Amino acid sequence: MKSVNGVLSVKSLVLAILSVLPLVAFAQSDDDVSILTKPTNFVELGLGNVSSDSYNFGQYNGLGKSGIFGIGSLGVQGGDAYGQGPGTRRWSIAATNLGTDIRAVDATIRDQGHWMFGLDFAQQHHDIADFWTPLQGSMGGNVFTMPEAFGTVNTRRPSTAIPYGTQVLTPTQVGYFHKVNVHTDRYNTGVTFGYNFNPKWNVQLNWKHIEQSGAKLISSGTDENNTSAGATLAGYSAGGERIQMLMNPTDYTTDNIDFALNWAGTKAFFTAGYFGSRFVDNYSSVSFPNPFDTGTAPNGSLLGAPYPVNALSTPPSNDFNQVNFSGGYNLTPTTHLVGGYSYGRNTQNMGYVNQDQMAPGGLPVNSLHGLVITTHADVKLTNQTTKDLSLSAGIKYNEHDNQTQAYTYTFLDLGGEAQTSFSIPLSYKTTEGTLDGDYRITSGQRLHFGYEYKDTRRGCDNAVPVDSATGIPVGADVSATNTGYYQLVGVLGCVAVPKEELNKFVVNYRANASDALNFNAGYAYSDRNSTVNPAFYSPLQANSEGFENYNYQAFFDGSRRQQMLKGGVNFQASDKLNLSMDMRGTKDEYYDSVLGVQQGKSGSVNLDAAYQISEKTSASVYANWQYRSRDMVSTSGRNSVGTSGLTGWSNNLIDKGSAFGFNLKHDGLMHGKLDLKVDASYSLDTTRYNTQSYTTAAIPGVTCATAPRNSGYNCGSTPNISSELLRAALTANYHIDKRSSVAAGYIFQKLNSNDYYYNFYQLGSTGTTTMPTNQPSPSYTENVVFVAYRYSFM
Amino acid sequence: MHLTKKLILGATLILASWTVPALAGNPPIQLPDLGSNQAALHQSTAETARRALADDAKCTRCHDENESKPILSIYQTPHGVKGDARTPTCQSCHGTSEKHLAGDKTGKGIPPPDVMFNKHDYPMSDAGDRTGVCLTCHKGTQRTHWEGSKHQTNGLACNDCHKVHNAVDPVRSKETQAAVCETCHKDRKADLRKISHHPVGEGQVACSDCHNPHGSTGPFLLTKATVNETCTTCHAEKRGPFLWEHQPVAEDCTNCHTPHGSNISPLLKSRPPFLCAECHDGPHNSQSAFGPNVGGLQSTIAGFAASGGRAPNPSSSGGGRACLNCHVMVHGSNSPAGAYLHR
């Protein structure tokens, strides 16, 4: 009965609105000038239908569930400043997607030149995955339990070669798996205010409040140490590094405030601002059970005690407060100076969780007292003494100074072994200088040239504690090889690349060969030279499992030579036909990286054509091709201080994409009452990895099959990761009269996804220590129809 | 007069001689003086509007509702609020255009207006002239870094993106902005339609949420000074500071993510474990490479037996989420037991 009343009330509201609207409309003039100078208001109501459930189709559009959905939108504006009126006040209310969970509403009122006030709300729904789990607990919550009768999963390798572990769950265990649609919802509420004190001074304030609920998927390793006495007595032997997927809650609140005081004079302007951001995570941890057993009991054996409970931390609540200043001054009518400065403090002091996973005495403090100071300064001088030449020179400085105190933490790893790590709050700063010039060679030709220098420094405010006798970090679990690693240099640093210098040169040429033909071309060359610290300390490699091979260089801070070439042409073949083409290619070489990424290439080509077939008919087509590759080498000898005598392998990534689209629009059919629009697009993206063994001088002739610890499964190509998307949409808009129209349409969308990622989590196909999730491929075929009535009025 | 006072007076006069000309210099186009037009400010809004419309009428008596482009729709925009003394007239932007107003005096046709924003019956004005008109009023704030910016040096003018006569400027609407940007940024158009993308096409995120096309101090015309400051405006849970940091994350989100779109979810440049291997040699299993084995179970039970029980078992370090099966806190961990980013 309640729902019937609800429906009636909605109907009543709609009827009430529709009954009033014609009165409003008829009270207004709608001659040709008024139509142009006054806003057209509208109300739109309708229905649509989605043919089938698909988390991927509905990823962001709110149409993830099959069945009927509502269409509702609204746009109403008014005030005495419309229609060439004498006033300065305007207001508006706009609402979209009211029938789905991506609805948005905003309202604004302003007295132009004096003040404005706005409110807005938007919901963002993000469908992430359909996911099967035996864990009990609500999506969005932070406590998960396992039904007691699920029993254990024995991951001990049997003596004979048969599937085991999570590959052969019992029917009872499989019966506990249930489907969860994992998604997040964001509710964004905004307030905007502006006030003009006078024509020179004004203030602006924006506040955005974001409430997020739901969950994302996260994986988890289990803790061997975390067993209860009861479980131990029952013969349960917990397994480390056993994997379960969890629904990681996103119960977040974010508040962002932007305030600015602006002044603008004839020759100068200035802004003083404040940006504040507060992030609150309403959970500090996620707890989950460990059903994995490395003993001999078969799958499904019941524990004599509740499951050991494990916990993950969640993102910590934090604050960011920043003051900003920027301004500009016209030194002369042709020489301008602009600059800015900002100072920010990012703090975080959330209480530590997982304290039961610490070794005795291993927790030096109960929270981080984290503090990062960010500083930015910039200044730029531009000059255009003549129309033919403009010049600019600028300097920028950015610093990320992590002043957080560092401590030594001794904890139990996933295997239950005590480990000691020293925290490394990373600091870095960049100084960048640019020189640019733009020269007009002739009225139709321009040449741009630029130079950039960038200096990057990294370091830590806190020195790593080192044993003075051995030169080894205190508490580090070192083998003889590791000892050699640390002793490569006299002073132990905390980063692999403490210094980078980049020099970049750019030249671009643009030409208008005629009114109808113009083209451009450009080339850029840059060289990033990195100073490498061969023996740096990182918490991730504080034990013997973690050491990188000497000479293994991360791509993002290794020395790199980069070249870019681009070009484009636009041809207005006639008043009706426009053609364009552009292309771009890059090449990266990591010339100092013995191991790691060696080189990368990318390229793209775009073709476009737009044709105005008649006054009422237009069409356009586009095509895009993209190509990207990356080559990398690694070796088989971990923890080595050299590469001699090692066998290794190469890995090549090839990423290709192609996309085609077609658009046709025809207005004025059926005596001017019907407009038609057709959109169609097709895209195919593929990613593939290929691994091959390579031979070092010390061990010639090694192949994938013969390389130590390699097998046929280690070499060769992965299956292609491909996404093929076809979309076609037909929309018809029929104008019943000046005020009423009906829009109807059909959308066909099909995704063929072939992705080996999903194989790994299917029941029976997982690794033996990974709980299946049976996540389905995102492929779908969707048919969507819709019809909506729009009433317009002035 | 004491010498000190003379020096101070002298210095003041020198400074004044420098400053006054700079402050008093003429803008390139004579707009209503927004800063000092006190007479206009003290008029009633009705009188202000009447005068402004009278000025506009010099143009709208010919360029009326019959134009092929809806030029009168500008009266629906902030530029059409004539009661606001700051609002420009047609001539504020198009120039006084006296020759054009005088008509065809030479028999060679009507001369063009002083500033043409589009190629129509007359050639389009230089990008610098078109932009200069707008910057006369729209100075500072978002436009502070326009001069020397990528778009400026590539020859763009404001009206190449903005349609100031339209009732709704497409580039200022979240739903339609991307189509404007994609006119030139065609690779991004393809990226935003990939299987993993930011919801730009769905109208929930606009290009301008991250980028300031008028110029900025950040890379890629980002709204903030750094990539991470920009990303953490919305993704504040990644901001930290964390007890255990991951260097590439702390420095630049785009080390691993490609924000417009990717074939690898979520917006990744590459798929783990290969992505991780671009910096790490895969410590646990660095003695064996990752290849087809990341693709899951690929062997029959017979093959499984023949391999001694190893071949068909995909490695938990390489399959599915690969390294992230255990190193789950890749953005940083605040657990005191999280040095290996496990918790």
Q: Is some CB atom of chain A closer than 8 A to the CB atom of B343?
A: yes
Residues near A130 by Cβ (< 8 Å), separated by ≥ 6?
A55, A179, A180, A181, A182, A775, A776
Rounded Cα distance between A267 and A338, Å, is 12
What pLDDT is stored for residue A21 in this prediction?
43
Residues near B240 by Cβ (< 8 Å), separated by ≥ 6?
A316, A318, A346, A348, A370, A372, B250, B332, B334
DSSP A137: S
In chain B, DSSP assigns E strands to 196-197, 261-262
What's the mean pLDDT in B34-54? 70
What pLDDT is stored for residue A377 in this prediction?
98
Contact (CB<8Å) B288/A709: yes
What pLDDT is stored for residue A636 in this prediction?
65
Contact (CB<8Å) B294/A718: yes
Rounded Cα distance between A113 and A197, Å, is 9
Chain A nearest-CA distance from B2, in A, is 33
What pLDDT is stored for residue A490 in this prediction?
56
Looking at the predicted structure, is the pLDDT value of residue A26 above 60?
Answer: no
Higher per-residue pLDDT: A627 or A512: A627
Higher per-residue pLDDT: A116 or A156: A116
- B27, closest residue in chain A (CA to CA): A333
What's the mean pLDDT in B183-199? 95
Is the ipTM here above 0.90?
A: yes
What pLDDT is stored for residue B4 in this prediction?
58
Rounded Cα distance between B23 and B34, Å, is 14
What pLDDT is stored for residue A303 in this prediction?
77
> Tokens at residue B267, please?
């917006």
- A9 — pLDDT class (breaks 50, 70, 90): very low
Q: Is some CB atom of chain B closer than 8 A to the CB atom of A387?
A: yes
- B337 — pLDDT class (breaks 50, 70, 90): very high
What pLDDT is stored for residue B133 in this prediction?
93
Q: Are A418 and A411 in contact (CB under 8 A)?
A: yes
Q: pLDDT tens for residues A513-538?
A: 888 999 999 999 999 999 988 778 88
Question: Is the preceding peptide bond at A199 cis, omega within 30 degrees of 0?
Answer: no
- B294 — pLDDT class (breaks 50, 70, 90): confident
What pLDDT is stored for residue A297 in this prediction?
78
Higher per-residue pLDDT: B308 or B77: B77
Looking at the predicted structure, is the pLDDT value of residue B119 above 80?
Answer: yes
In A387-470, DSSP assigns E strands to 389-402, 408-412, 418-422, 426-442, 445-460
Rounded Cα distance between A318 and A323, Å, is 17
Q: Are A708 and B293 in contact (CB under 8 A)?
A: no
The reported pTM is 0.90
Q: Is some CB atom of chain A closer than 8 A to the CB atom of B80?
A: yes
Lowest mean pLDDT among A83-92, B29-38, B234-243, B290-299: B29-38
Rounded Cα distance between A591 and A695, Å, is 20
Considering only CB atoms, A759 lies closest to which of B247, B290, B295, namely B295
Q: Are A28 and A37 in contact (CB under 8 A)?
A: no
What pLDDT is stored for residue A672 in this prediction?
92
Q: Are A317 and A280 in contact (CB under 8 A)?
A: yes
Rounded Cα distance between A50 and B113, Å, is 53
Average pLDDT score, chain B = 84
- Listing DSSP states for A57-78 in one string gives TTTTTS--SSEEEEEEEEEEEE
Residues near A326 by Cβ (< 8 Å), separated by ≥ 6?
A270, A271, A273, A338, A339, A340, A341, B140, B144
- A602, closest residue in chain B (CA to CA): B187
The residue type at B156: L
What pLDDT is stored for residue A445 in this prediction?
93
- Listing DSSP states for A681-693 in one string gives EEEEEEEEEEEEE
Q: Chain A contacts of B121, Cβ < 8 Å?
A: none
Q: How many CA atoms are closer than 13 Å to the CA of B48, on its beta-carbon side?
A: 24
Higher per-residue pLDDT: A21 or A173: A173
Q: Is some CB atom of chain B closer than 8 A to the CB atom of A67?
A: no
What pLDDT is stored for residue A4 in this prediction?
38
What pLDDT is stored for residue B30 in this prediction?
41
Contact (CB<8Å) A770/B316: yes
Q: pLDDT tens for residues A163-218?
A: 788 988 999 999 999 999 999 999 999 999 999 999 899 999 999 999 999 999 99
Q: What b-and-e string marks burial along B11-26, b requiring 16 or more CB atoms within 10 Å of the CB?
A: eeeeeeeeeeebeeee
Q: What is the largest CA-CA distance in chain B?
A: 109
Looking at the predicted structure, is the pLDDT value of residue A491 above 80?
Answer: no
What's the mean pLDDT in A129-134? 94
Rounded Cα distance between A212 and A577, Å, is 48
Rounded Cα distance between B72 and B166, Å, is 8
Higher per-residue pLDDT: A83 or A197: A197
**Residues facing residue A182 across a β-bridge:** A129
- Listing DSSP states for A251-310 in one string gives -EEEEEEEEEEEEE-SSEEEEEEEEEEEEEES-SEEEEE--EE-SSPPTTPPPSSPPPEE
Q: Token pair 């007359």 is at which residue?
A: B122
Q: pLDDT tens for residues A440-475?
A: 999 889 999 999 999 999 998 877 787 777 777 777
Say whether A790 sits in a helix, a strand or coil.
strand
Contact (CB<8Å) B154/A719: no
Contact (CB<8Å) A36/B70: yes
Q: pLDDT tens for residues A348-370?
A: 999 998 778 888 888 999 999 99
**Residues facing residue A436 across a β-bridge:** A392, A450
- Tell me which residue of A604, A622, A615, A612 sits closest to A679, measured CA to CA: A622
Q: How many CA atoms are closer than 13 Å to the CA of A181, on its beta-carbon side?
A: 13
Rounded Cα distance between A701 and A705, Å, is 11
Rounded Cα distance between A622 and B189, Å, is 10
What pLDDT is stored for residue A12 in this prediction?
47
Considering only CB atoms, A265 lies closest to which of B35, B155, B264, namely B35
Q: Are A785 and A49 in contact (CB under 8 A)?
A: yes
Lowest mean pLDDT among A152-161, A546-555, B181-190: A546-555
What's the mean pLDDT in A721-740? 96
What pLDDT is stored for residue B158 in this prediction?
96
What pLDDT is stored for residue B289 in this prediction?
78
CB pairs under 8 A between A and B: 512
Q: Is some CB atom of chain B closer than 8 A to the CB atom of A400?
A: yes
Q: pLDDT tens for residues A557-608?
A: 999 999 999 999 999 999 899 999 999 999 999 999 988 999 999 999 999 9
Rounded Cα distance between B186 and A568, Å, is 12
Rounded Cα distance between A108 and A94, Å, is 9
Q: pLDDT tens for residues B68-111?
A: 888 999 999 999 999 998 899 999 999 999 999 999 888 889 99
Q: Chain A contacts of B83, Cβ < 8 Å?
A: 80-81, 85-88, 112
Q: What is the largest CA-CA distance in chain A?
A: 94
What pLDDT is stored for residue A489 in this prediction?
55
Average pLDDT score, chain A = 88
Q: pLDDT tens for residues A677-696?
A: 999 999 999 999 998 875 55
Contact (CB<8Å) B340/A82: no
Considering only CB atoms, A358 lies closest to which of B286, B329, B336, namely B336
Q: pLDDT tens for residues A293-349?
A: 888 778 888 877 778 888 999 999 999 999 999 999 999 999 999 999 999 999 999
Looking at the predicted structure, is the pLDDT value of residue A20 above 60?
Answer: no
What pLDDT is stored for residue A233 in this prediction?
67
Lowest mean pLDDT among A624-638, A717-731, B248-262: A624-638
Looking at the predicted structure, is the pLDDT value of residue A17 above 80?
Answer: no
Lowest mean pLDDT among A103-112, A556-565, B155-164, B309-318: B309-318
Q: Token pair 């195919």 is at which residue?
A: A684
Contact (CB<8Å) A87/B45: yes
What pLDDT is stored for residue A648 in this prediction?
75
Q: Chain A contacts of B202, Cβ < 8 Å?
A: 60-61, 102
Q: pLDDT tens for residues A744-794?
A: 999 999 999 999 999 889 988 888 889 999 999 999 999 999 999 999 998
